[in-house]
Amino acid sequence: MNKIVKGTIFDGKARVAIVEITDIVNEEIKMHDLSPLAAAALGRTMAVGAYISNNLKNESTKFSITVNGGGILGNIVVAGEGGNFIRGFVANTKATLPLKENGHLDVGNGVGKNGFFTVITDFGLKDAYVGKIPLVSGEIAEDFTQYLYKSEGIENAVALGVRMTKDGCIGAGGIIVEPLPDADDNMICMIEDIMTNFTNVSEIIASLGAEEIFNFYFGHLNAQKYNTEEVVLRCNCSKEKIENIIVGLGEKEAMDIVSEVGKLEIGCQFCGKNYSYSKAEVENLWQK
């Protein structure tokens, strides 16, 4: 099960969220035939997406995360709606780099840091909210830490990870802790000390799982754990949306494509589904 476990510690003076999305990462690997590096970078970003989605709650509220640091991976995009619905893709699905000296995947250089971490949230109002910060390291966790602090004004500590083997992903997710304004210095020091345990957070997720991580690392800190919620991989592409894209091309351009290749095909970057239209079907869109 892909899940998010949330709760409070220090009698409500800090919030804890633990995301476990191992199965979702494996689905993405199969769907897009991802290299280990691409899977690790996308998985970390999707863990952030799960956290953002859970905080939105309302399914009518939409969000997107775009990470592009100029590295070999290209754009990483995660989108979704409130209520724990997420989806994502990475531009260069086959990207590879040598492992770092510690044997870990080099996500930071794969992403690069000559770019931005951008979150757009659409509440259905006139204008969407846009939060954007320069990338710090490309490792995603440090970048999301800075995003929360600089764009949302939230003190936080973030650990993200994806553990890959030759057989796929065995642990993926993250831990986000937010001390609230009435948390004292001693509590913050304790949070910092606990977070030092999560340098290999993906391995801990693989061995313990979200609920046990909460219980083991935070349960003794006057903690209250909320209900576990499922995180769902869901694409929202549809025939209607694809037809709107075709109409947006304009009739001349759409028909030129059909004349050149015999049909018009549009693929969904999130789920990989292809929508194919014949000449008659394209013509019919304007007849409608």
Give 169-219 as a 3 state SS string. EEEEEEEEEEECCCCCHHHHHHHHHHHHHHCCHHHHHHHHCHHHHHHHHHC
CA distances from 92 to 45, 49, 167, 228 (A): 15, 20, 21, 33
pLDDT at 251: 86
pLDDT bracket for residue 3 (50, 70, 90): very high
Query: In the CATH scheme, what is the code of domain 239-287?
Result: 3.90.1280.10
C-beta separation of 48 from 152 below 8 A: no
Whether residue 218 has pLDDT greater than 80: yes
List the structure tokens of 208: 């313990």
Task: Look at residue 127 and tell me whether its pLDDT is greater than 90.
Answer: no
Distance CA 259, CA 266 (A): 16
Q: Return the higher-pLDDT residue of 102 and 8.
A: 8
Q: How many residues does the chain have?
A: 288
- Separation CA 218–CA 237 (nearest Å): 39
DSSP tally for the chain: helices H, then strands E: 10, 14
| Nearest Cα residue to 79 out of 193, 223, 234 | 234
Q: For residue 258, what pLDDT band results from cuts at 50, 70 and 90?
A: confident
Mean pLDDT of the chain: 94
Domain spans in the chain, listed from the N-terminal domain onward: 3-233, 239-287
CB 165 within 8 A of CB 172: no
Which among 201, 238, 234, 239 has a CA at the least distance from the CA of 217? 201
Q: How confident is the model at residue 146 (pLDDT cuts 50, 70, 90)?
A: very high
Dig out the tokens for 230 from the structure. 């499922």
Whether the CA torsion 164, 35, 103, 190 is positive or negative: it is negative
Q: Evaluate if residue 288 carries a pLDDT over 80.
A: no
Domain 3-233 has CATH 2.120.10.30: no
Q: Look at residue 103 and tell me whether its pLDDT is greater than 80.
A: yes
Which tokens belong to 34? 């991802």
Rounded to a whole number of angstroms, the distance between the first and last alpha carbons of the chain is: 43
Q: How confident is the model at residue 186 (pLDDT cuts 50, 70, 90)?
A: very high
Comparing 21-25, 114-118, 230-234, 262-266, the range with the smallest average pLDDT is 262-266
The answer, yes or no, to whether residue 149 has pLDDT greater than 90, is yes
Q: Percentage of the chain surpassing pLDDT 90?
A: 80
> Is the alpha carbon torsion for 246, 251, 252, 257 positive or negative?
positive
Rounded Cα–Cα distance for residues 67 and 75 (Å): 6
